[in-house]
Structure 1
Amino acid sequence: MDDAVVMFPSPAIGHFISMVELGKLILTFQPSLSIHILIVSAPYSAGSTASYVADVAATTPSISFHRLPTITLPSSTNTHYETLIFEVLSLSNPHVHQALLSISKTHKIKTFIMDFFCFFSLSIASQLNIPGYFFFTSGAGCLAASMYFPTLHQTTTKSFKDMNTFLNLPGIPPISSSNFSSAVSDRKNKAYEYFLDMAYCFPKSAGVIVNTFAVLEARALKAISDGLCIPDSTTPPVYCTGPLIVTNNQTDGDTECLNWLESQPSQSVIFLCFGSLGLFSMEQLREIASGLERSGQRFLWVVRNPPSDSESLDISALPEPDLNSLLPDGFLDRTKEKGLVVKSWAPQVAVLNHKSVGGFVTHCGWNSVLEAVSAGVPMVAWPLYAEQKFNRLMLVEEMKIALPMKEDENGFVTGLEVEKRVNELMQSDSGKSVRERTIAMKNAATAALSEGGSSRVAMSRLVESWKH
């Protein structure tokens, strides 16, 4: 029987694409493998993966996709999106078991790689004597904090939201209790329990694969390898194999913004884009607009419709934004010589790699961070959800490749703050320092993926271990 690797990504689009890219990378090291990817339908829509899946299936025949039966959640289910994903993945466990049994009839499954959200399935891999690995789609700093989570849990009975203090965790800068994801800020939240259960599973795995590279997060990785993050158990091997970035399908017929960039001076444009779930109120959009206009900087800004008032988490159901009604009167006309506003989507990797782009205002999603680092583009960090406040801490305090956007206690950012940070990044000495540091990390990322580089060596070692 042929050897196979089975992969189980979270349905969140960023998690899903990163894992498929990992599968493609594995094939470059061992082309004889077949890769089988299990697909779970998301409990909400945050962008379709259909065209991406079709492209991969057409261009990489060694990768096949297996769609698991759709899970219907009870109507009373919590609408917190992390909780929804955990519950769908938990209920999918019998289908995962069946899929592994089915694939094993025709293939020898060498390993089972699951997104850390899919930790429920580690027990199935153990039952079937298949080595189970976690794929961690955020950085090593976030992994260090996740591994240390049970220790934090045992040292206090307070919720993070009630602490109002700084915490010292191994391998990362002191972190404010308010910088933890909202999903774990309240001990009574079901998501808190899920993340805690997930953290307890790390020592039971055969290893953790992380989408990062050694130079970017050296201190966090040392804390993990020294056993400081899991003091009461065994730390699994950690393999840094990044940066994994999708580069195909980056224009998708939308060349307006790339054509516009062609006419702009080198490194003169600030790019603003906030991910698949990054939605702002009309009031916040207008503050961003006023800050950009007052800054006088050239800009390319991706604008999406504000969230609807309904309880729906179906982001794809939002209509195209009406820019004239959302943005200040006359804004588009007054800024047309220096700025371009595009609706809903832009080819982010292609934009970041364009010579005219000199800065990136980002929500700090980890894939976006790696895309900016790989392009050598410095950032202004404006976190919105998930672990993004934590990522801002790492980008600003540890890696020093971003400036922080400062929000009020309600998460609102004024136009004055937008103006200040954009100008600081593009014109000041601190912006220059961040730019130089980012370019150094770009070179380190290139080296990590080159022959003999740290990420290639780690990937080679991992794939080699499956041959025995």
Structure 2
Amino acid sequence: MPKMKDTIVMFPSPEISHLISMVELGKLILHHHPQYSVTILLTTGLVDPTTMTPYINRISQANPSIVFHQLPFLPTPPDKSPLRSHLAILFESLRMYTPNVRNALQSISLSSTIQSFIIGIFCFSSFDVGSHFQIPTYFFYSSAVVSLAPILYFPILHSQTSQNFKDLTTTYLDIPGVPRIRGSHMGEAVVNRADPAYYEFLDLATHLPKSKGIISNTFESLEPIPIKATADGACIPHAPTPPVYCIGPLIADGEVTMKSGHECLSWLNAQPSRSVVFLCFGSRGVFSALQLKEIAHGLEKSGQRFLWVVKSPPPTEKEKTLGFSSLASKELELDSLLPEGFLNRTRDRGLVVKSWAPQAAILNRESVGGFVTHCGWSSVLEAICAGVPMLAWPLYAEQHINKAGLVEDMKLAMPMEQAENGFVSAIEVEKRVRALMESEDGKTLREQSRKMRENAQVALAKGGSSVEALRKLVESWNPN
């Protein structure tokens, strides 16, 4: 009887950014340990297939050792009532997938030896499935250790107050290894105790210590302070802390970049070195019409060259009643969204792009000297790998925590000062953009960003910290 193939089964959280970083982890494993194959479980119906399907097809063609296993549709849909948050619905959906995950592991084990089961943190309800089959089970955290630490420490934070974190606007939290942050800046899933997602995260925090380890998309020289705090057990003082394997930066390479010939790239090629500030805020980064005008005024007054990706504002209450239930319902008209004459007055030094641009390719252009970002971790890593300093404007999820780490510890970003409701004035945009591109502090950030780019390359080179962490990870599931 022929020896069964050793495989690693992965179950990513059902969002394209989580899938991409987990695929990159799989590719890194295969590059250094080609004796394995990788099987990735995919949910059905939880994400938009128009972006997911082309990506999966490209990966499958380029990487025959990566196999995608589509899980069946859920027999009954989750409760999607308007009172339930997006994350509460996501957690419920993933819990309903548990029998399908069990059946998939059972099926895969008939033809392959499953060496490990790696699950996204939102998929923690499937943790016990791996334990049931006695498969070493690990969590994959696609973000930074600075935002992992508050999750590990969350049961203690929960016990320290009965208030909603969203109401702690002037109260600062002391979390081991993390710069002090306001309670209201905890991740969106945990700021409201009335949201079922709050208790899902509490449950997640109790599952993390039970795993064989946690894989984080970072590298040692980027985050020495939170990495040491977690390794020392400071975030889980009442139980052993599992190993945290820092195996980053994991970012998509050129094969994932769509529309690589985008018009903005040729425009960038014609600009002077390090002269352009790039503004882009991720897939969910939408602003009100008022905020867009403030950004435009600030950019114009700053006198800097800029490339700005603009999305349609969310529909107003009136537009919702007229049937504009989604951003796609509205045609993006820049002339009406931006201040009158703005595009004409700035056409010699600025370019506004509708909806989407090839971010990684832009950041790697010689002309780009600064990046205004929402602090999503994939975007942060792309900037680090390109050596571009950042202006931090967090919007949602764990981004306020990422901002604190970037500004206070990593020294890779300046903060964009926001009102309590998140609003940023034109004066602030003008001041910060000019400081990033012209001031001595901006020059210092630029030099630190250049050094960190080199550190990222070293981490993934032979003998580097991330490659060594990967070696230890593989040894942990196959000690012989």
Using the size of structure 1 for normalisation, the TM-score is 0.96
Structure 1 stretch displaced more, 334-343 or 150-159 = 150-159
Which consecutive residues of structure 1, in runs of 5 or more, have no partner in the other structure? none
The question of 1:6 aligning with 2:12 is answered: no
Q: Does 2:222 correspond to 1:243? A: no
Which one of the candidate residues 155, 159, 164 is aligned to 2:160? 155
> 1:125-153: per-residue Cα shift (whole Å, max 9, x none)?
00110111000011011111111111111
Q: Note the C-alpha offset of 1:433.
A: 1.6
8 A Cα contact 1:46 1:277, kept in partner: no
| Superposition map of 1:171-320 within 5 A | 171-248=177-254, 249-309=256-316, 310=320, 317-320=328-331
- Once superposed, what is the RMSD of the aligned Cα atoms? 1.8
**How much does 1:328 deviate?**
1.3
Residue 383 of structure 1 pairs with residue 394 of structure 2: yes
Check conservation: 1:43, 1:84, Cα contact below 8 A.
Answer: no
Shift of 1:45: 4.3
Residue 171 (structure 2) pairs with residue 165 (structure 1): yes
Per the alignment, do residues 397 and 318 of structure 1 end up closer, same or farther by CA in structure 2, a change over 3 Å counting?
farther
**Which letter does structure 1 place at the counterpart of 2:99?**
P
Runs of 4+ in 1 over 3 A off after TM superposition: 41-47, 309-320
1:426 equivalent among 433, 437, 455: 437
Deviations 1:253-307 (A, max 9, x none): 5420110001000000000000011111111111111111111100001111112
Aligned-residue sequence identity (percent) comes to 52
Say if 1:407 and 1:238 are closer, same or farther in 2 by CA, change over 3 A: same
Change (3 A) 1:384 1:246: same
How many residues are treated as equivalent by the alignment?
Answer: 468
Letter in 2 for 1:250: T
Match of 1:40 among 20, 24, 43: 43
Q: Structure 1 residues 59 and 258 mapped into 2: Cα distance closer, same or farther (>3 Å)?
A: same
List per-residue Cα deviations over 1:151-188 (Å, max 9, x = no partner).
Answer: 11122222212333111111111221121122211222
Kept in 2, the 8 Å contact 1:141–1:172? The answer is yes
Matching residue of 1:85? 90
Q: Residue 61 of structure 2 corresponds to which residue in structure 1?
A: 58
* Partner Cα separation in structure 1 for residue 418 and residue 107 of structure 2: 51
Q: 1:376 to 1:91 in 2, by over 3 A?
A: same
What is the aligned partner in structure 1 of residue 147 from structure 2?
A: 142
Asked if the contact 1:378–1:434 (Cα under 8 Å) also holds between the matched residues in 2, the reply is: yes
In 2, the alpha carbon distance for the partners of 1:284 and 1:204 equals 44
User: What's the counterpart of residue 374 of structure 1?
Assistant: 385
Distance 1:318 1:235, change over 3 A: farther
- Asked whether 1:328 is paired with 2:370, we answer no
Distance of aligned partners of 1:86 and 1:373 in 2 relative to their CA distance in 1, 3 Å threshold = same
Return the alpha-carbon distance in structure 2 between the equivalents of residues 197 and 318 of structure 1. 38
Q: 2:127 pairs with 101, 122, 134, which one?
A: 122
Distance 2:329 2:472 in 1: 45
What does 1:432-451 align with in structure 2 at a 5 Å threshold?
A: 432-451=443-462
**Matches of 1:175 and 1:75 in 2, distance apart?**
32
Query: Which of 347, 353, 370 is 2:358 aligned to?
Result: 347
Rounded Cα–Cα distance in structure 2 between residues aligned with 1:396 and 1:46: 36
- Mapped to 2, the partners of 1:256 and 1:402 lie a distance apart of 28
Deviations 1:189-246 (A, max 9, x none): 2111011111111111010000000011101011111111100111001100000010
8 Å Cα contact 1:320-1:344 kept in structure 2? no
Report the secondary structure of 1:452's partner residue.
coil
C-alpha change, 1:459 and 1:275, in structure 2 (3 Å) is same
1:455 partner letter: S
Contact 1:12 1:42 in 2 (8 A): no
Q: Which moved more, 1:166-175 or 1:204-213?
A: 166-175
Q: Tell me, yes or no, if the aligned pair for 2:80 and 2:89 is still in contact at 8 Å.
A: no
Alpha-carbon distance between aligned partners in 2 of 1:135 and 1:396, rounded to the nearest angstrom: 25
Segments of 5+ residues of structure 2 without an aligned counterpart are none
Counterpart contact for 1:273–1:363, Cα < 8 Å: yes
State the 1:74 CA deviation.
2.6
Question: 8 Å contact 2:12–2:119 — kept in the other structure?
Answer: yes
1:99 offset after TM fit, Å?
0.8
Change (3 A) 1:237 1:75: closer
Q: Deviations over 1:28-78 (max 9, x none)?
A: 121121111111146464972222111101100111111112342234264
Please report how far the alpha carbon of residue 379 of structure 1 lies from its aligned counterpart in structure 2 after TM superposition.
0.4
